[in-house]
Structures are given as C-alpha cells and as structure tokens.
Chains A and B, each alone.
Chain A
C-alpha cells in the first residue's frame, strides 16, 4: 500500500519516511512523558523515603498503644523514653479546629460577597487583595503571632502567656481563609448562569437566588474548598511552631500553650542523631502526617469530582 501511494504522488516525499524530525519528535515524546509522571514518582518517593528513615522505629520501639494513646512525648528521657503523640495530636487538632471556626464562616461569606454581590472594580480589587494575602509566608505569620498577637492577647485577656491555642488558631485562620475564599469563589462561579437566571425569573431576590439555588448547586465544591483548608492548617509548620508556645500539654482552654505534630518535627529534628530511635520516631510522625493529608486531599478531590459528574 505504501508502495502504491508512493507511485501515485510521484516526487512527493514518502509520508512514513523516518527523518531527523521524526526521531526528535519521538525522543521529546518520551522525555515529556517522563516529566509528566514525575508527580506520581515524587509522591511515591516521598512515602518511601520517609518510611525508610522511620522504619527502624516501627520495627523496634513502636507500640501502637503508646504512640497514639499516651500523652507523654519524652524521647530524650535517659531511663525510659516514651513516644506518645496524643498531646501533640490534641495540640494540632485544637489549633486547626479553632482556625477553621474562624476561617470557614469568613471565607464562605467573603466568597459569596466576591462572587455574587460585588461588581466591577470592587470585585477585582478584593480578588487581588485576597490573592496577595494568600502569599504571605508562614514564617512571617509566625513572627506576627510572636510579636504582635502575643502582647495583644496578654493585654486583652489578662493572661500570663499570649502564645497559646487562641493565638495560633487566629493566625492559622487568617492564613487559611484567603485560600479557602479563592477555592469557594471558584466553586460558586462554576454554577452555570442559567440557574441564576431561572431563579431570578421566578421573582427571587439576589439572596433568595443564592440561598435556594447557587449554594445547593455549589455545595460539593464548597465542601472541597473547606477540606483543602483543613489539610493546609493541619500541615502548617512554622506559624504553629512560633505561635503555640510549643509546650506539651493536653489543652483544657484556648489560653493553654500546646505543641503541634509538625512543630515537634521542626524543633527536634536538628538535635537528634541520624538513625537514633528519636530521629526515627520523628519520621514516623512524618508518615502519620503524610497519610492524614493524603486522605484529606483525596477526599476533597473525590467530592469536587462528584459535582462534575452529576
């Protein structure tokens, strides 16, 4: 067949001829594919390398009961080191919880305002401001907690220490809110305009349209945005390290200092000997953090994909 077409077209080049361009095209295709799967390689690589470093601990000193149910994190104790992360989990959970209490209503409200009420210049300005807020580095947030929030909390509530759950929760809430606002705004914008037009044609006011039509239609996207915010708060390191007070504590009020899982790794990794049980225990916390955030991100993605299908 090739032969026949060659005869018909006379002196035109054979279309299946393999010249330099053809080979370059093939090589590029493979190179680009290799880069394309880099994200998968890296995710698997992160899991493997963090697990390898923590593996010795998992085999020897690790006890499920002690690790998850004991509030005593005393890896440097000479007689009998204990590796319980219950208090650290409580620290992370209380700070993230308070942060979400601050961030969820405010980011939902701002997202509705930006997407549905604001128009023209106001809207553009708000969007740019929110994007810039999301860019502030976490170490700067930590510094703000340390040097601005700390004296403020001491003055306002008359407590001895201002580095506590309240401080870190508010800081983390302010950090997560811009990102959640952007994602929630995208979710609201993804609702087709014909939904709004239909509801308006029935005589609904702006708020009735939003409440009865737009919000129900966007609820999966909004939930996904909230979950991503939770994941971000959960994994935040520097701000939490600097603003929580970094004291191991089972918290009983928002004015207690606590210590987070992420912050523990950041504070202690530099002081441990490579390969020691303490070092490996820190990597085990890393495996735990990786697993939790992986589940949160996966769930968020599944929920968001849910709306696209229906």
Chain B
C-alpha cells in the first residue's frame, strides 16, 4: 500500500508546480482585465454617443440645410461634400495604388531600391495629417493653382491614404499562388496578360476590402481638408471639383468648437452620423475579408 502511494505521489503537483500555475492564472486574469479595460470605456463612450445623438437623427437632419448660423437644421451639404471628397480621392488613389501594388508584387526585384519604396510607403503612412495638409496647401492649392477646391482637398486625401490601398492590394496579390502565374506563362501569355487575366481577377475582392478601408479612413479625416478645400459653411452645394465644399468631419469640429449657442444634442448627432458611416464601412470590410477567408479554394 505504501509503495502505490509513492507512485501516485509522483504525479501529484509539487509546490513549485502549484505556484507556477497560480502565477499563470494571475497573469491571464490581469491581461484579460487589461484587454477589457481597453475596450470597455470606448463601448461606454459609443453608447453615450448613440443615446445623446439618436434624438437628432431624422429625415430633416440628414437631408436638410443648416440654418440659423448652423445652430439648427440639417447636415446635407456636409454629407454630400464628404461623398464628393471621398469619391474624387478614390478616383485618384485607387488606380495609382493598385498599379503600385502590382509593381511591388509582380515586377519589383528584391533589392535596395524596392526596400526604399517599402520604406517610403511606411513613412508616407506615418506622416502627421497636419503635415499632409501643409503639403496640400503648398503643392495643390498654390503650386498647381487648384485653389482651395474639392480637387486640392481630394488629392491631399489621396496622397494620405495611398499606403492603405497599396498595402491591402499587395497582400491580396501575393496571396494568389505562384503556380497560377506559371501556368499562364507556359501558355505563352505575356506578363501583363497574366496579371490582367489571372492575378487581378483572383484578388479583386481582396483589393475591394482595402478600398472600403480607405473610404472609411478618408471619411473621417479632418486636418488635411481644413485648408485645402473644405469650408466651415457654404450655402450652395458644390457643382464641380473646383468648388469648395462642406465636409462632415469638419462640420463636427465647427459645431462643437467654433459656433456659439449650439444646442447640446446637435454635435452628438453629427458625431453619431460620422462614426456610424466609418464603423459600418469598416465592418463591411472585415465581413468581406472573413467571407473570403472561408471561401478560398487554394
């Protein structure tokens, strides 16, 4: 009996094991707590936005003009202006970004020059938004003579969000197996024919997730458009890319800091519309990515 006791005891945990396990549990709970603390305040803040802002949301608010010195009325010119700015920025940045990604994924050799391009992309993503604004003023507004216009603002936004498109597109191009390309080359296709008929069709949805992500980033940007084309208040809607416009993100800044006697709920309403647009597009991008991951055949 005594001997079996010893054998059983061999599998019992020693004091050292027990204390190590305890430390593990302790740290696990600590880190879980930290992750929770990171997310919880933001969820509370978002709930506050919804509670205080939802009373503002109505058909007149979304599709009406601001009236009485922006203290009443709707946000339609700002909404439409954001659509203009984002649309023009996309038209500029998506072709350039996709082409740049095609170069990096399909053509670029692995040398110092390609590394320099990658470094430039990382740095472009890290330049402060206000410096992008200064660049936009110096280059597009003054040097190229676009003046403060949708075109200048959209080009500034396009420069700023170019890295988002490049990185997302490059990733989805590189996810296409190399064997696909080899098979196509063996049929006698040129590099471009291979890219157009095989590589791009197989990565188009991945590129789309990147573009949606870019739209969401562009929608929320404020600093780069403040001096390049977005204005505090303009009574008429823009008619061409050379007009100035209102924008939703700048409108939130204006009604919450620059205009006196704004009813408390109004900026909450604007913030709610802005954040809903951004989070909806981000969720769509994430959902599309997950759907694709499940559908992948190779």
Q: Which residue numbers of A lie inside 8 Å of B, CB to CB?
A: 21-22, 24-25, 28-29, 31-40, 42-43, 45-46, 49-50, 52-53, 105-107, 109-110, 112-114, 117-118, 126, 128-133, 135-140, 142-144, 146-148, 174, 177-178, 181, 205-208, 210, 228, 231-232, 234-238, 242, 262, 265-266, 269-270, 274, 282-283, 286, 289-290, 293-294, 296-298, 301
Contacts and interface: CB of A to CB of B under 8 A. Distances in A.
A228 to B, nearest CB: 7
A296 B126 contact: yes
Contact of B190 (A25, A50, A262, A293): A25
Contact of B257 (A32, A117, A146): A146
A32 B34 contact: no
Contacts of A129: 39
B11 interface: no
A140 B30 CA distance: 30
A147 B257 contact: no
A49 B143 contact: yes
B10 to A, nearest CB: 14
B180 interface: no
Contact of A49 (B39, B138, B163, B192): B138
A175 to B, nearest CB: 10
A21 B193 contact: yes
Given A139-B252, A143-B256, A242-B256, A206 B135 contact: no
A262 B134 CA distance: 11
B192 A25 contact: yes
Contact of B220 (A139, A265, A293, A294): A139
A207 B23 contact: yes
B55 interface: no
26 contacts: A28-B191, A29-B107, A32-B100, A32-B103, A40-B116, A109-B33, A129-B39, A132-B282, A135-B217, A135-B278, A135-B279, A137-B219, A140-B274, A142-B256, A143-B267, A174-B41, A177-B38, A207-B23, A207-B27, A228-B126, A237-B222, A269-B137, A283-B138, A286-B130, A293-B127, A301-B119
Given A45-B135, A106-B37, A138 B24 contact: no
Contacts of A232: 126
A53 to B, nearest CB: 4
A138 B132 contact: no
B127 A39 contact: no
B298 to A, nearest CB: 22
A105 B34 contact: yes
Interface string B93-129: 0011101101110111000000011011111101111
B32 interface: yes
B142 interface: yes
Given A39-B120, A113-B28, A207-B24, A140 B35 contact: no
A238 B274 CA distance: 15
Contacts of B61: none
B153 interface: no
A39 B100 contact: yes
A35 B103 contact: yes
Task: Determine the interface band of chain B, counting residues with CB < 8 A from chain A.
Answer: 35 or more
Contacts of A105: 34
Given A50-B131, A106-B38, A36 B108 contact: yes
Contacts of A283: 134, 138
Contact of B223 (A143, A181, A208, A266): A266
Interface of B: 20-21, 23-24, 27-28, 30-35, 37-39, 41-42, 45, 48-49, 95-97, 99-100, 102-104, 106-108, 116-117, 119-124, 126-135, 137-139, 142-143, 159, 162-163, 166, 190-193, 195, 216-217, 219-223, 226-227, 249-250, 252-253, 256-257, 267-268, 271, 274-275, 278-279, 282-283, 286
Contact of A140 (B99, B116, B252): B252
Contacts of A142: 253, 256
Which residue of A31, A32, A126, A205 has the most chain B CB atoms within 10 A of its CB atom? A32
Nearest to B121: A39
Given A33-B107, A148-B45, A42 B34 contact: no
A303 B24 CA distance: 30
Nearest to B119: A301
A236 B250 CA distance: 16
Contacts of B39: 126, 129-130, 133
Nearest to B136: A49
Nearest to B114: A36
Contact of A205 (B21, B95, B124, B135): B21
A75 to B, nearest CB: 16
Contacts of B274: 137, 139-140
B235 to A, nearest CB: 19
A139 B116 CA distance: 32
Nearest to B96: A35
